[in-house]
Structure 1
Amino acid sequence: MAPDDTDRLARLAERLAVEAGRVIMGWYRAVDPGAREKADASPLTEADLAAHALIAEGFAAATPEIPVLSEEGRQAPAAERQHWQRCWLVDPLDGTREFLARNDEFTVNIALIEAGRPLLGVVGVPARGEVHLGVVSSRRAETLLADGRRQALRCRRFDAQQAVIVASRSHRGPEQEAIVGALAARFPRLVERPAGSALKLVQLAAGDADGYPRRGPCAEWDIAAGEAVLMAAGGALRTWSGETLRYNKLDSLLNPDFYAVADPDGALAHAFRALGAAG
């Protein structure tokens, strides 16, 4: 894709994330956000649906040639999606549980996928009025602040004396606890910090944390935008067997277990790879 085209699509995704964030915050301040359960028992609110509608309509108008795969939209069958070279991958409100808990840790995730990998991604944080952008090919990673200024994002080098990993607030289990325990044994000064939604990957990209181990199910639209921001800032995300994630997969829209690191050559990345090799 030509650089001018990538920049245009990045600006489009950023604008839609900002606009969707405003819609979400209207419902965030409402007495009743219209919460109910979906078929998989996960929560759904009017904010999810309103943000989805805004983003889907925006892309339909601006890039009708690029299909949209959204958590709250039509899930096109594999027979249709196998012909997609590119698609927008969208979670209009990632962290609905955080939204309902009123802890501000929810995001708008938008990624542009080509041939199974993210070209660019934006992670909007409506409660902060921020949007984090990553363009992978140019290694452009930055935050659009609430006052309109832009701030560069860059991952930090790993320092075992100040090691920080981030973990899900909502999804934990014995495998996750075992990984954290093994890391704490290797890095005694390790600090674990809970965080919601795609903010975990943003913290790595911003130089505020070093790693994110993930055991447990999550969907493609939960991760793709954050991975783009992380890669553009110098980090990496891998499955525990060392492979890159693929998006718009035909067999399942769920991700395999994975880990993310700010410093792909640091000691924490080596520890993750050793844990993956050990099974």
Structure 2
Amino acid sequence: MTERLTADLASGELLDTLAEIAEAASQVILPYWRAGGEVFTKADDSPVTLADQAAERLILARLEALYPGVQAVAEEQSEAEGKPDRAADRFWLIDPLDGTRGFVQGKESFTVNIALIEARKPVAGVVSAPATATTWRTGPGGGAQMRRFGEAWRTIRVRNRPDEGVALLSHSVTDEEATRLAARHGCTRWQGTDSSLKFCLLAEGRFDAYPRTGPTSEWDTAAGQAVLEAAGGRVLAPDGSPLLYAKPGFVNGPFVALGG
């Protein structure tokens, strides 16, 4: 039902729908958090929990019911069934629980991510943080917004780069590498943070850069990139071009996400 998807994207109704789905998935995840549930190991040695699987089932079922026939590329489905050989011109990218390692450890920085990709670019995206009951999204008519679950949306925007910028880095890098990466992008300080929350914190204007050197999957970044770009930021490949999607294997190379 591509006509309905086109109409809902143009009207902004799609963004309300995606936010509702992401927040519903968050409610599915929360009972598993800090509950000591079983953790499985995937082929790439990364963890997966029953929460990941239950949230993804909900997201896929809701999207298929509303927009049947639109291709969905989702993390757990791709692990179980294999990644598709190619992507349609328009498709969903879904990470039902980004930051699973932190989730298993009882940390708060895990997220639900749903993005719509069109012509290799993220044109709509929603990120929800179940532990803090917060959602960020691309806004109807442009811009980016955030809200606490059930509250009104408010506009967010990246900040102008301060004299002493602050970078966000993955916890997987060493302190020495983090300091070097932060300095490369004009930041004198850095902070470690998990998941796609990094894109959202840049979009809020709280930080200034998120450089990434190691590989990530496209579902890790698409929704966060959509929100950050809508807030006035950028996500760039090493050659300075925008980070694009539907790459071979749905894998990202190095990139940097920038605020103002």
Separation in structure 1 between the aligned mates of residue 128 and residue 153 of structure 2, nearest angstrom: 14
Pick from 219, 230, 233 the counterpart of residue 232 of structure 1: 230
- 2:70 aligns with 66
Separation in structure 2 between the aligned mates of residue 241 and residue 178 of structure 1, nearest angstrom: 19
Structure whose residues are more often strand by fraction: 2
Quick one: structure 1 residues 60 and 140, their matched pair in 2 at CA, closer, same or farther if it must change by over 3 Å?
Answer: same
Aligned length: 252
Quick one: structure 1 residues 66 and 172, their matched pair in 2 at CA, closer, same or farther if it must change by over 3 Å?
Answer: farther
TM-score (normalised: structure 1): 0.84
Quick one: structure 1 residues 182 and 246, their matched pair in 2 at CA, closer, same or farther if it must change by over 3 Å?
Answer: closer
Unaligned runs of at least 5 residues, structure 2: none
| Kept after mapping to 1: 8 A contact 2:233/2:259 | yes
- 1:257 aligns with 254
TM superposition shift of 1:252: 2.3
Separation in structure 2 between the aligned mates of residue 175 and residue 191 of structure 1, nearest angstrom: 12
The root-mean-square deviation of aligned C-alpha atoms, in Å, is: 2.0
Separation in structure 1 between the aligned mates of residue 23 and residue 149 of structure 2, nearest angstrom: 10
Could you say what secondary structure the match of 1:24 adopts? helix
Q: Which letter maps to 2:169?
A: A
- 1:157 aligns with 160
Could you say what secondary structure the match of 1:20 adopts? helix
- Asked if 1:145 corresponds to 2:134, the answer is no
Superposed structure 1 runs of 4+ greater than 6 Å apart: none
| Kept after mapping to 2: 8 A contact 1:70/1:91 | yes
- 1:77 aligns with 84
Identity within the alignment, %: 37
Unaligned runs of at least 5 residues, structure 1: 264-279
- 2:102 aligns with 98
- 1:266 aligns with none
Q: Which letter maps to 1:165?
A: A
Separation in structure 1 between the aligned mates of residue 173 and residue 28 of structure 2, nearest angstrom: 27
| Kept after mapping to 1: 8 A contact 2:179/2:189 | no
Q: Which letter maps to 1:9?
A: L
Separation in structure 1 between the aligned mates of residue 15 and residue 214 of structure 2, nearest angstrom: 30
Could you say what secondary structure the match of 2:146 adopts? strand
- Asked if 1:118 corresponds to 2:122, the answer is yes
- 2:244 aligns with 246
- 1:200 aligns with 198
What is the CA deviation profile of residues 37-86 of structure 1, one whole-angstrom value per residue up to 9, with x for unaligned ones? 001100010000000000011111011131110001144432xx34x121
TM superposition shift of 1:146: 2.8
Could you say what secondary structure the match of 2:216 adopts? coil
Separation in structure 2 between the aligned mates of residue 45 and residue 124 of structure 1, nearest angstrom: 18
Quick one: structure 1 residues 4 and 36, their matched pair in 2 at CA, closer, same or farther if it must change by over 3 Å?
Answer: closer
Separation in structure 1 between the aligned mates of residue 225 and residue 66 of structure 2, nearest angstrom: 24
Structure showing greater radius of gyration is 1
| Kept after mapping to 1: 8 A contact 2:146/2:156 | yes
| Kept after mapping to 1: 8 A contact 2:143/2:232 | no
TM-score (normalised: structure 2): 0.90
